[in-house]
Structure 1
Amino acid sequence: MAPKFGTSGLRGLVVELTEELVRDYVTAFLCACPYGDAVHVGRDLRPSSPQIAEWVIAAVRDAGVDAVDCGVVPTPALALSSLEAGAGAVMVTGSHIPADRNGLKFYVPTGEISKEDEVRINAALGGALSGAPGALSTADAGAAYVARYTQAFGREALAGLRVGVYQHSSVARDIMVEVVEALGATALPIARSDTFIPVDTEALDPETKRLFAGWFADHRLDVLISTDGDADRPMVVDDAQQVVPGDVLGAVTARALGARVICTPVSSNTMIEAEGGFAFDAIHRTKIGSPFVIAAMEEALRDNPAARVAGYEANGGFLLGFNADAPAGKLAPLMTRDCLLPILAPLGAARAADKPLSALLDALPPRFTAADRIQGIESEISKTFIASLSSDAAARAAFFADTGDIAEVDETDGLRVTFATGDVVHLRPSGNAPEFRCYAEASTRETASALVESYLAKLGETLSA
């Protein structure tokens, strides 16, 4: 996979992320975007990340800019650190993709880069900056991130819960343990790995899911939590041993914090529009990707600076756009995908209501989502196939014939088809990996899962024919 620069920053095969390429993108970022007085640099636990982080720091300093080495740290913790310092940031991570790939995520002093910033960075490639070498310092970005949640939720927020922490190779594996214990829970660390494991919280493989039942029994768990590799996506398995979809965590978190305006991609669960359970003032649907969610949030805040706006993606990454009231204190805005808030807020809400998390979720409108992917399908092949279905109504009807009559087609991002039954199938090529994703929504969990399984099988047969 040749390195690509887009919604999730720069990503590519490690063997193609050369020092020259990394330095070029970092320098282009410095040429094209504001970065305050310094650039904070963090990294995940991939074997290639320490070397790439060294190249990033060297490029920053060679440009005459001070670098702050934050070491191994969650992406949202790095963003919080740089935001509070009024500085830029670069995170070395490939998120959930395999260890033979890696990448860079860029932040300006106000948060994630925008789509306009991406254009400017690409235009600045090949540029140069010079000056006296920048200084190098270190910072503990994780400490402030932990304090953000321990102070806001308080010592009793999760009192009495036995929380399994699936640690694998997440950069937040120790932070999760520290935070849930500070909030009164008993943390049970599970399956820590010295080898990088590409956990995709949107598409957990069956083998991983089978492990969960044993962990619940062995450790007498009330809930199991985890994140993806760089900790900007949550994973929660409730007391009924069901993986809670990220867009459900997002909706419950937004309600718990008193958000009134929601910005979320077209792929997110439609329960927030259903009667009962939610009463948001406005819901803005976007293309998939945090830059699009952030753009919608910023537009809402321009229209009303006091808007209680929040955003979330189907993967559960949560973005807070207002000063929110948490159980024990205030939460300042953090408009980047975060994993901890959509874990803690639903658990805290269930604990405050003195009910298990599954009971809290069972009271929501009955709309269920599922998602998975086919790997090894190049984006161009996927895009060509989507284009053919989008432009040819007869081909589209034939491909989806097993599910019934098509009531609505949405091409905001990929191809989202709503059937007369109310079921939904959404096909979308990944923008940063050779993957074809399928999302489904239905009135039962079983139907949603069956739709994903069926259409991924059909896609596999069609695209390999």
Structure 2
Amino acid sequence: MAPKFGTSGLRGLVTELTDELVGDYTRAFINACPHGSRIYVGQDLRPSSESIGEAVIRAIREQGVEAVDCGVVPTPALALAAKGAGAVMITGSHIPADRNGLKFYVPTGEVSKADEQAIVAAYDAKVAPAGKDASVKEYGAIAPYVDRYARAFGDTALAGLRIGVYQHSSVARDVMMAVIERLGGVSVALARSDTFIPVDTEAVDQGTRDMLRGWCAEHGLSAVISTDGDADRPMVTDGDGNVIPGDILGVLTARMLGAEVVCTPVSSNSVVGMLPEFGTVHMTRIGSPFVIAAMEEALAEEGAKVVGFEANGGFLLGFEADAPAGKLEPLMTRDSILPIVAPLAAAKAAGRTLAELVAELPPRFTAADRVTETPTDKSKALLAELSEDAAKRAEFFSALGGVANVDQTDGLRVTFESGDVVHLRPSGNAPEFRVYAEASTPERARELVDMYMETVGGALR
């Protein structure tokens, strides 16, 4: 299947991301979108990212636009550096290393779905190389990104905390260490890898969960933190090594920053709508472009303190927030460091553990997993059948009792009279089928995911 835009960015097999295709998409972006006459370029640690980055920079220069090479850098750090300019991040996020992709940014932040459509139209029109040779310069985007959190949270925000950093092949593995130390905590490096590991923070497997718990016990940790490959999604555990879901990190971060309006996908934990401090909650389709569109609409109409987050934990800040030690400027792209730091700092300031802070929220729990290597046509056909045929849907979910609500905002989200929720959706970025669940206990949520992972897998086979 040819590379295409999914929930966030252009993705495809490395073998299909040829220099010609990458150059054509880069020229299409330059032709279709504002870029401020300068484009910043960053990359993750996949083996293919360096050569793809070279093709991107070459295409930028050939169009007479200045290229700024930021090298290996977290996606949100690149977005922060590129404010007022364009940017291209070479990353496949959490998917395996045989795939990669491009994320595009306009001067105001991540591209919208309308921008993506314009890029595709320009790509189809085959924008020819201009034959120019603009300049290229290097820029260190990491130090300003670390400084952002040091200024906002102060040098004692995490004092007394001993925090494990699961480094693997995250592009932010050294950034996480630096931020923890700058905020007064003690960082413990864990499992650094020279081989790319596709960590999906939204679907943490049991082996990884056991490993995280083991580290907490072995090293006496207050938490373990990590990110996905390009560091726009966080992973955080409590002191016992229990993974805290990304949407709960989002709720805790939004609360700490004094947010009034929250924009989040329909797959997020419904606890966000149960908290009185959030005056308005907008539920969107899944994918940061949809969250950003809802945030921009809310900012234009309400002018309030607007934030966004996804079930994967990526957090978007739409206003200048008052953090414990200073101002935190807006950043309209998924960030991983903010939803790591803010809950830890909030727990520390309240004299509580992270687990105690989470326990204060209404008891709603989520779980998620994915059936991998699922042909896209089969995934779409299964979802269409369940969405359109009420009898088939009733048979498929017969074990869960009466249906209270069916939501087709994105995929198929079914709420049952028991309060259980099952949400099915093919991935927009990879040949995978996502299974989400929500229930009143974590055990029940996990049980639902396991049940429908098996059911979906059987149906797709």
Q: CA deviation at 1:377?
A: 0.5
Q: CA deviation at 1:7?
A: 2.8
Residue 3 of structure 2 is aligned to residue 6 of structure 1 = no
Q: Deviations over 1:411-449 (max 9, x none)?
A: 000000000011100000001100000000001000001
Q: CA deviation at 1:127?
A: 1.0
Name 2:297's counterpart in structure 1.
299
Contact 2:59 2:129 in 1 (8 A): no
Residue 111 of structure 2 is aligned to residue 123 of structure 1 = no
Name 1:50's counterpart in structure 2.
50
Q: Deviations over 1:350-381 (max 9, x none)?
A: 00001100000001000000000000112221
What are the equivalent positions in structure 2 for 1:421-436 lying under 5 Å apart? 421-436=418-433
Contact 1:259 1:308 in 2 (8 A): yes
Q: CA deviation at 1:217?
A: 1.9
Q: CA deviation at 1:128?
A: 2.3
| Aligned mates of 1:234, 1:197 — CA distance in 2 | 15
Stretches of structure 1 lacking an aligned partner (at least 5 in a row): none
| Aligned mates of 1:91, 1:370 — CA distance in 2 | 29
Q: CA deviation at 1:6?
A: 3.2
Equivalent AA in structure 1 for residue 424 of structure 2? L
Q: How many residues align?
A: 459
Q: CA deviation at 1:278?
A: 4.2
Equivalent AA in structure 2 for residue 7 of structure 1? T
Contact 1:379 1:431 in 2 (8 A): no
Name 1:31's counterpart in structure 2.
31
Residue 407 of structure 2 is aligned to residue 383 of structure 1 = no
What is the TM-score of this pair, normalised by structure 2?
0.98
| Aligned mates of 1:66, 1:410 — CA distance in 2 | 46
SS in 1 for 2:155: coil
Q: CA deviation at 1:131?
A: 5.6
Q: CA deviation at 1:257?
A: 0.1
SS in 1 for 2:399: helix
Contact 2:411 2:426 in 1 (8 A): yes
Equivalent AA in structure 2 for residue 203 of structure 1? A
Equivalent AA in structure 1 for residue 137 of structure 2? S
Name 2:86's counterpart in structure 1.
88
Residue 336 of structure 2 is aligned to residue 339 of structure 1 = yes
Q: Deviations over 1:174-219 (max 9, x none)?
A: 0000000110100001000000000000111221112112211221
| Aligned mates of 1:10, 1:153 — CA distance in 2 | 34
What are the equivalent positions in structure 2 for 1:263-278 lying under 5 Å apart? 263-274=263-274, 277-278=275-276
The one of 451, 460, 463 aligned to 2:460: 463
Contact 2:209 2:241 in 1 (8 A): no
Equivalent AA in structure 2 for residue 108 of structure 1? V
Equivalent AA in structure 1 for residue 332 of structure 2? M
| Aligned mates of 2:359, 2:446 — CA distance in 1 | 18
What is the TM-score of this pair, normalised by structure 1?
0.98
| Aligned mates of 1:269, 1:26 — CA distance in 2 | 36
| Aligned mates of 1:280, 1:157 — CA distance in 2 | 25
Name 2:202's counterpart in structure 1.
202
Name 2:156's counterpart in structure 1.
156
> Percent of pairs identical after alignment?
64
Q: CA deviation at 1:70?
A: 0.1
SS in 2 for 1:124: helix
Q: CA deviation at 1:109?
A: 0.6
The one of 437, 441, 445 aligned to 1:440: 437
Residue 334 of structure 2 is aligned to residue 321 of structure 1 = no
Which deviates further from its counterpart, 409-418 or 201-210? 201-210
SS in 1 for 2:12: strand
Q: Deviations over 1:125-184 (max 9, x none)?
A: 111252631101000111110000011000110000000000000000000000001101
What are the equivalent positions in structure 2 for 1:36-435 lying under 5 Å apart? 36-83=36-83, 86-125=84-123, 126-130=126-130, 132-274=132-274, 277-305=275-303, 307-435=304-432
| Aligned mates of 1:370, 1:397 — CA distance in 2 | 22
| Aligned mates of 2:23, 2:32 — CA distance in 1 | 14
SS in 1 for 2:250: helix
Name 1:19's counterpart in structure 2.
19
Q: CA deviation at 1:43?
A: 0.1
| Aligned mates of 1:73, 1:463 — CA distance in 2 | 38
Q: CA deviation at 1:304?
A: 2.7
Stretches of structure 2 lacking an aligned partner (at least 5 in a row): none
Contact 1:198 1:228 in 2 (8 A): yes
Equivalent AA in structure 2 for residue 333 of structure 1? P
Contact 1:46 1:196 in 2 (8 A): yes
Q: Deviations over 1:28-53 (max 9, x none)?
A: 00000000021000000000000000
Equivalent AA in structure 2 for residue 89 of structure 1? A
| Aligned mates of 1:178, 1:247 — CA distance in 2 | 25
| Aligned mates of 1:379, 1:160 — CA distance in 2 | 48
SS in 2 for 1:26: helix
